[in-house]
Structure 1
Amino acid sequence: MNDFSRRDVLRIASAFGVTSALAPLGVSAATAAADASGYSLSIDPTRRGPAISDTMYGIFFEDINRAADGGIYAELVQNRSFEYSPVDNSSYTPLTAWTTTSIGGATGTAEVIDDADRLNERNRHYLRLDLDGNGGAAGAYGVTNAGYNSGMCLERGKKYDFSVWARTDRERGTPLTVTLSDESEASLTAKPLRLELRGDRWVKYTGTFVARASSTTGRLTVAAGGAGTVRLDMVSLFPRETYLNRPNGMRKDLAEKIAALEPAFLRFPGGCIVNTGSMYPYEAPDWERYRSYQWKDTIGPVEQRATNANFWGYNQSYGLGYYEYFRFAEDIGAMPLPVVPALVTGCGENHVTEDPELLRHYVQDTLDLIEFANGPATSTWGRKRAEMGHPEPFGLTHIGVGNEENLPEAFFERFTQFRKAIEAEYPEITVISNSGPDDSGPIFERAWELNRSANVDMVDEHYYNNPQWFLANNDRYDSYDRNGPQVFLGEYASKDNRFFNSLAEAAYMTGLERNADIVKLASYAPLLANVDYVQWRPDLIWFDNRTSWGSTSYETQKLFMTNVGDEVVPSDASSTPAPETPITGAIGLSTWATSAAYDDVTVTAADGRTLFDDDFSGGDARWTRATGRGSWSVENGAYIQHDTAAENTMVTAGDPTWSNYDLHVTATKRSGSEGFLVAFGVTDTGNYYWWNLGGWGNTRSVVEKATGGTRQTLVGDDTRIETGREYDLRIEIRGRQVTLFLDGKKWGGFTDDKVAEPFRQVVTRDHDTGELIVKVVNAQDSQARTRIDLGKQVRVAPVARLTTLQGDPDAVNTVDAQPIRPSQSTLPGVSNSFTHTFPAHSITFMRIRVKSA
């Protein structure tokens, strides 16, 4: 019995556009397909679980995949200040993205210069045009910029603001003609801009275009007439229409998609780019020459900001700087969360800056950053913020130090100095540490040990794994120490952009919410990817120069981020029976940027039978080149891979049905940067286990499991491999338990028995609406017919609201089609105990309105 009237039912229905609650768009609660699997879900609305942090879900921005320049930063000109350099990218020249242009037969020369005539010390390079003066009154010589992707995207009727810093040595001045055209040189505006340069000092000249046609291949041409020398720098074309019409602002469609997520925080400016960069080419104190990401380089007038090499292989302009990050966070209602360098590199690099003066400088820079964000307009750095247009503080509460360092001892020593200084001056700021680049292993364990022992407030974890890992590790945070540091899951994703990856991520997120007392912040990564500059996938939002679209994971994240709830409601669901199958598969040998010799390979069954034996005296006929990489040959009775540049050179042998066996092999590193890769349980090139000895530049050793081509770490330590030494390797496989022996001594072991559970759920409460939000993920091929029991101590509205993501597990959202989009409906027949069938391959959010009985 409940006390909801028919009017209540109709009101709930109409909220989702359903004209009759008796004829819903969704599946009836009483409907169950014959092929559905049977589940039960018990919910106790009278009990309260952990409160969910207001900052639970946010976004992580990193300038990867051209996410900033050529992406969300709305500037259309590439290499606008002529600072591209082969030092930053071997394919670059100072005129990358530019070509010389002649109008009316005019001639001249164009050269990028670095001398005393530069615009300023941090914007050192400029373009010098030496004009021959021919071509008549209509003649002009200059340069054309093609922007990013296929060209600049210009829309008919829209305004575009042009600016350039220029100077001329002609006393009578120099005419400057600025035009917009498409790839075929057809004009995109009614008339060009005509500017008159006067004086041999730097002056900013501006003008505005109105596009009379749309194009995705737009070009900007800047050409000077007459004779003499013209100098140009900071050539810019900005759409007038940016997000919230901010000057120097964000590309509107990308910013709107981010804002639609309703993120609670914005972590910036990146991960790997935080600790790395290039060097200034002039004499300067070390703290100015060490080119990690320095926030002070990114504020103030854009023409006075430095440029820097990006960790991901391209140049970044810093037009999108710390002020713009803070302002964007404020614009979308997100908590700003900057990350500063700790002077210990990460992301596969191992370098520590030992200079104590440099460390002192970076600590002070971090204190200055907090003042820039929070200080009054009368303070030194608060005044800088006010001068940029924001006199009120930004309200910074959290700051991260470092990112994915592989040297936990060195990192933590430096982190401690940052933390001590920040807490002394700003005790209200939460200082966030990190746990390295993986979800487990020796670096992760040591980092967490150091963080726990020092009572660090919060630890930033990062990991990217295959879908099976996410399905199998829903309980990851169940066992975390509730008296230890809280968790910021700063980067995570399942390694692809198919809907099945999103299903696995959604299943995992139910575990994050269930552990909301320990997991306080979480952000999928990376956020943005330009389709023509992809360096990493998966990615949340994809774009080209014209349009943008959300991946299937974007739709998943949006569903969770806009339906968080205020607290967890205790619930319990039945699970899917797990098949008890042993690890099965053939064997393999491989290398990674290393030459190695293998010999005396034997495979012995648990009962003592010899399944395979090869001392290579008869050649390599029993082995298959699985990847086709590397240079393998038999020499002096050993199987040798010679190529020290080739990665994953796997060769395989044996029967894919083998189980319960011992693999024995001897191995010798001949040359190269790493060690050995010995595989077992090989079913194909994308599915196997391997013992990776001396991996990551010979810094650590692990066992990895590959599923569908993506790998996850199961166990590891810091073993390193010596060149020229023969090693005895043995792998013992029993059922799903694996034990590994190095030179006769046990090296480690694991039991791979976690179930990739396809049916996951969590329930939260929305205090504002009085609804329970029942979140169910069904990541399997069959429907899940589920008995839902709410107990007898609440009154339940007879109609629930449903939002569902459902589709082919291989579906991918693209520019041409987005098959994975949310559908909304209502569900009648809801009561204290009812049955609902959750579709195969689906994520369902069911909002049930309840009242105390």
Structure 2
Amino acid sequence: MSRTRTRSRTSRRLGSRTTRRLGVAASALLMASAVVPGPAHAEDAAEDVTDYAITVDPKAGGAKIDDTMYGVFYEDINRAADGGLYAELVQNRSFEYSTADHASYTPLTSWSVTGSAQTLDDEGRLHERNRTYLALGAGSSVTNSGYNTGISVERGEKYDFSVWARTDGRASLTVSLTDSGGALATARKVTARGGWAKYEATFTASRTSTTGRLTVATDRAAALDMVSLFPRDTFKGRENGLRKDLAEKIAALKPGFLRFPGGCLVNTGSMEDYSEESNWQRKRSYQWKDTIGPVEQRATNANFWGYNQSYGLGYYEYFQFAEDIGAMPLPVVPALVTGCGQNRATDDEELLRRHIQDTLDLIEFANGPVSSEWGRERARMGHPKPFRLTHLAVGNEENLPAEFFARFERFRAAIETEYPEITVISNSGPDDAGTTFDTAWRLNREAGVDMVDEHYYNSPQWFLQNNDRYDSYDREGPQVFLGEYASQGNAWRNALAEAAFMTGLERNADIVKLASYAPLLANEDYVQWSPDMIWFNNHASWGSANYETQKLFMTNVGDRVVPSAATSTPSVSGPVTGAVGLSTWATSAAYDDVTVTGENGETLFSEDFGGGASRWTHTGGGSWSVRDGRYVQTDEAAENTMVTAGDTSWQNYDLSVQATKMSGKEGFLIAFGVQDTGNYYWWNLGGWNNTSSAVEQAVDGGKSTLLAKPHSIETGRAYDIDIKVRGRQVTLYLDGEEWGSFTDDKPAEPFRQVVTEDARTGDLIVKVVNAQPAAARTAIDLGGAKVASKARVTTLAAAPDAVNTETQTPVKPEKSVVGGVADRFTYTFPAHSVTFLRIERR
């Protein structure tokens, strides 16, 4: 297709309006500059072309970008540790699975027994924190099924087996590795004698398989624990090491920091010590001292995300991994205020002092000399040199800002007294706005906190709308650590929106000092949260579209921002338009007297359910029926049970409904502006385990919070709810009192850019995101900079719904070299693309 082909009516209209905004000089530049080709397919993929201009001022001062700008956030969610980054191939290796972890678990989950065996928790155990062991009868065997489809091995690779065993005399243990096709390696024999001892053997796989099974058989009665199989080829060859392909994908990002171990793991569960009375606190919060020392002496614990975590991957391994990939370690410790919907604060002074001391001990473990107590422990584990810890976060997403901050101040004071060189990071709760966010930020500013951790997961539209989020942040206040963020999906449209937002992060590198996409890892067969950056199973891993975007930014950061500006895309938006809906989330609720009235008082819809509910369309789950003149949803386990009624063309109306929570975890949801199952607004009353109420907007299935307040709903109480929609302004009333209002009128800009400079090479890096279906023909003015005539180009471009999988990678970088680069030149950025131009300075 020719570069001079006539554009469509839409592109001509946008182009002419853009040209008028640019003025005479820029208009001449658009008309006169030579067009530099992008990738060969770029313009062929889109018939429309929209005109833009980017102006760069290379002589002006710009924000310094720290080496730690972008990093990774690791949490043991989606089986990210056991069965994931931790290379152990045996699931439930120490027989510690319990109903405290998951209702279906037993100590023999993932094991099958031939003959006689029983699991015991008595004085004969291996260690007080490794409670359960297996008593295997003479002539019996036990087989482990691994993760996903089984134990994965590759032909020619070595695998190290170990087991702790105890016998009254002498027992011969036969260890075999098989699948349905037979042996995967030559069986091994070890002889166990007397008390608990560790026995080892090595397999060399004769075939490749993803469905392997590990079997241990004994000729005489024996007690077994810590049955383990590790690939010899771990990341950096480390014992008790990391799965190589996953670790290498993380390392390839060149992260500036590694935040660990979570997440909701940090501040959920009990903060108490292990004890017999509390079943050894099987839901104990993540505490670093539980995770170090010999692996057979480490605790296991109930993971917040619904499974067991072994702590084989512990704080020592996290620090070691950070060092191995050149990242700054950034641990997060609990502040004794729970989060993630639990919302409790402890007033136990002794417990608080103990946790503060544990945090001081952690710093000593990381940085202390080998002559110190915890520095000596680090050295015993194999690392006499300090890990050079500089940053530490206290707390995670607490929804009780006052309670959290009172305790945070105690931690900060103690750390700054003993370790003034450590930056202590606070946080602002679980969302990007709302009462909790505002209160937390006020407390942080007033106390002069160094850095505040923000978290948010929103729709692609929100990220396109909020590129300027940090433009107005107080430069005299705390700096920002954007510790968790993602748009809600792993398609290319999601990564595009995140890329557009990241140009704003870089532009504000003086205030946004650290940023990390989250979550990092997901096992495709054990998903608690999606989207995620890297996906895997027991034999393969692949980077999502989001991973490719993060990698492009993280490996081309630059050292300073070069001030630049770009023209924008005309935006036209009409009123909020759509039908109405009712829904529940893990709750049973009843609805009555639904009325929709036009702005002139005419009745558009009225429903008292006296004649049934035939006018309502069921679009979600749940069990809806009319009972005693009310529309009732009775399934407490069901989520998003939406039913809708009315016309998608409705606008400027009042919605009234009476709602009653009957039972369950949350409240109820009233929808308006409903276009379809993925595009609507709803007022979520008593959400997040009945701790908060918020208005959320769904766009193509991804939701963003527009307004939020701490709030709960009473069971059995009838609430009168009124929603007034006028244009794009919405006002909400609860029992006749105004609850809040908002105006949804912020444009979603699809064309974003930032320019940085690489101090080592002198390159200008022009980073452009074009998240629209039209190519963007762009006049680039480098402000008089003397540059080479060619530029190195990296482009990510794909269909908006493209998703990377194990077998297909539609989103991947394409590299090219283009000519015709000068102080002023034109480049056409493909539709739905992220493009980096590396331009050499002369």
Contact 2:38 2:829 in 1 (8 A): no
Amino acid in the other structure paired with 2:453: D
Question: Any conservation in 2 of the 1:460–1:488 contact (CA below 8 Å)?
Answer: yes
CA distance 1:144–1:32, change in 2 (3 Å):
closer
In the alignment, what sits opposite 2:22? none
1:221 maps to 2:215: yes
Partner of 1:113: 120
Aligned to 1:734: 726
TM-score, normalisation: structure 1: 0.91
Aligned mates of 2:202, 2:71 — CA distance in 1: 37
Which amino acid in 1 is paired with 2:193? R
- 3-state SS, counterpart of residue 198 of structure 2: strand
SS at match of 1:476: coil
Deviations 1:75-96 (A, max 9, x none): 1111111111122111111111
Q: Does 1:143 align with 2:142?
A: yes
2:193 is aligned, of 187, 194, 198, to 198
Out of 162, 171, 176, the position equivalent to 1:174 is 171
The separation in 1 between residues aligned to 2:45 and 2:625, in whole angstroms, is 57
Q: Deviations over 1:365-420 (max 9, x none)?
A: 00000000000001000000001111000000001111111111211111111111
Q: What's the CA shift string for 1:228-271, capped at 9, x where partnerless?
A: x3111111111111111011111111111111100000001110
Q: Which amino acid aligns with 1:452?
A: R
Q: Which of 680, 689, 704 in structure 1 is aligned with 2:696?
A: 704
SS for the counterpart of 1:479 is: coil
Specify the alignment match of 1:660 in structure 2: 652
Match of 2:345 in 1: 352
Q: Secondary structure at the match of 1:582?
A: coil
In the TM superposition, residue 842 of structure 1 has moved relative to its aligned partner by: 0.5
Shift of 1:289: 8.2
DSSP-derived class of the 1:523 partner: strand
> Would you say 1:459 and 2:459 are equivalent positions?
no
**1:18 matched to which residue of 2?**
none
SS at match of 1:575: coil
Matched, 1:797 2:811: no
CA contact (8 A) 2:46 2:831 kept: no
Which position in structure 2 is the counterpart of 1:16? none
Quick check: 271-280 or 156-165, which moved more?
A: 271-280
Cα deviation, residue 573, structure 1: 0.5
Partner of 1:493: 486
Unaligned runs of 5+ in 2: 1-34
Which of 71, 79, 92 is the aligned partner of 1:66?
Answer: 79
Q: Which amino acid aligns with 2:309?
A: Q
Distance 1:24 1:243 in 2: 41
CA deviations on 1:788-831 (whole Å, 9 max, x unpaired) are 11123x21211111000011111111111111110111111111
Give the whole-Å Cα distance in 1 for the aligned partners of 2:42 and 2:826: 5
Which position in structure 2 is the counterpart of 1:622? 615
Residue aligning to 1:473: 466
Q: How big is the shift at 1:24?
A: 8.4
Q: Which amino acid is 2:803 matched to? A: V
The aligned counterpart of 1:152 is: 151
- 1:124 to 2:124 alignment: no
* Cα contact 1:28–1:828 (8 A) shared by 2: no
Map of 2:184 onto structure 1 = 188
Q: What SS does the corresponding residue of 1:468 show, helix, strand or coil?
A: helix
CA distance in 2, matches of 1:28, 1:502: 20
2:98 equivalent in structure 1: 85
> What is the CA–CA distance in structure 2 between the aligned matches of 1:45 and 1:749, rounded to whole Å?
43
CA contact (8 A) 1:375 1:393 kept: yes
Q: CA deviation at 1:34?
A: 6.4
TM alignment of 1:641-680, pairs within 5 A? 641-680=633-672
- Partner SS for 1:529: strand
> Would the alpha carbon gap of residues 284 and 609 (structure 1) be closer, same or farther in structure 2, given more than 3 Å must change?
closer
The residue aligned with 2:9 is none
The answer as to whether partners of 1:24 and 1:825 remain within 8 angstroms in 2 is: no
Query: After the TM superposition, which of the residue ranges 403-412 and 517-526 deviates more from structure 2?
Result: 403-412
Whether 1:371 and 2:349 are equivalent positions in the alignment is no
Listed one character per residue, the Cα deviations across residues 100-149 of structure 1 (whole Å, up to 9, x for unaligned) are 23xxxxxx411111111111111111111122xxxxxxxx4221112111
Query: Quick check: 1:828 aligned with 2:819?
Result: yes
Summarize the Cα distance change of 1:194–1:781 in structure 2 as closer, same or farther, 3 Å threshold: same
Change (3 A) 1:264 1:728: same
Unaligned runs of 5+ in 1: 1-21, 102-107, 132-139
Whether contact under 8 Å (1:29, 1:836) holds in the other structure is: no
548-557 vs 674-683, which moves further: 674-683
Please give the alpha-carbon distance, in whole angstroms, between the structure 2 residues aligned to 1:812 and 1:847.
Answer: 27
2:61 equivalent among 41, 48, 71? 48
Q: Which amino acid aligns with 1:728?
A: D
Q: Which residue number in structure 1 is paired with residue 6 of structure 2?
A: none
The verdict on how the C-alpha distance between 1:217 and 1:558 changes in structure 2, with shifts beyond 3 A counting, is same
- The 3 A distance-change label for structure 1 pair 148 and 640 is closer
Q: Which amino acid aligns with 1:457?
A: D
Following TM superposition, by how much is the alpha carbon of 1:617 offset from its aligned partner in structure 2, in angstroms?
3.6
**Is 1:688 paired with 2:701?**
no
SS in 2 for 1:67: coil
Q: CA separation in 2, counterparts of 1:621 and 1:525?
A: 43
Partner in structure 2 of residue 814 of structure 1: 805
Comparing 545-554 and 614-623, the one that deviates more: 614-623
Q: Aligned letter for 1:756?
A: A
| Aligned counterparts of 1:194 and 1:676: Cα–Cα separation in 2 | 61
Question: Shift of the alpha carbon at 1:593?
Answer: 3.2
| Residues 158/726 of structure 1: CA separation in 2 closer, same or farther (3 Å cut) | closer
Residues 402, 608 of structure 1: alpha-carbon distance in 2 compared, 3 angstrom cutoff: same
2:265 counterpart SS class? helix
Cα distance per residue 1:17-37 (max 9 Å; x no partner) = xxxxx9988459999986210
Cα distance in 2 between the residues matched to 1:97 and 1:669:
40
From the superposition, tell whether residues 25 and 157 of structure 1 become closer, same or farther in structure 2 (CA, over 3 Å).
farther
Q: Determine the structure 2 residue equivalent to 1:162.
A: 161
List aligned pairs for 1:166-565, cutoff 5 A. 166-170=165-169, 173-184=170-181, 186-189=182-185, 191-199=186-194, 201-225=195-219, 227=220, 229-277=221-269, 282-283=275-276, 291-565=284-558
* 2:16 equivalent in structure 1: none
Q: Secondary structure at the match of 1:781?
A: coil
Check the 8 A contact 1:43/1:569 in 2, yes or no.
yes
After superposition, residues 9-24 of structure 1 pair within 5 angstroms as none
Measure, in 2, the Cα distance between the counterparts of 1:54 and 1:839.
Answer: 30
Q: Which residue of 2 aligns with 1:746?
A: 738
Q: CA deviation at 1:286?
A: 12
Aligned partners of 1:33 and 1:670: how far apart in 2?
Answer: 53
Query: Secondary structure at 2:611's aligned position in 1?
Result: coil
Tell me what 2:8 maps to.
none
Aligned equivalents of 2:432, 2:458: Cα separation in 1: 9
- Asked if 2 retains the 8 angstrom alpha-carbon contact of 1:29 and 1:835, the reply is no
Change (3 A) 1:372 1:621: same
CA contact (8 A) 1:82 1:127 kept: yes
Q: 1:613 to 1:192 in 2, by over 3 A?
A: closer
Q: What is the rounded CA distance, in whole Å, between the counterparts of 1:31 and 1:766 in structure 2?
A: 32
C-alpha distance 609-492 of structure 1, shift in aligned 2 (>3 A): same
How many Å separate the matches in 1 of 2:750 and 2:614?
42
Q: CA shift at 1:642, angstroms? A: 3.8
Q: 1:734 to 1:250 in 2, by over 3 A?
A: same
Aligned residues: 807
Show CA shifts across 1:614-661 (max 9, x none).
33343323222232423231524x433344443322221111001111
> Residue 719 of structure 1: CA displacement?
3.5
Question: Once the two structures are superposed, what CA deviation does each residue of 1:294-336 show, in whole Å capped at 9, x if it has no partner?
Answer: 1111111111111111111111111111000000100000000
State the distance in 1 between where 2:519 and 2:833 align: 23
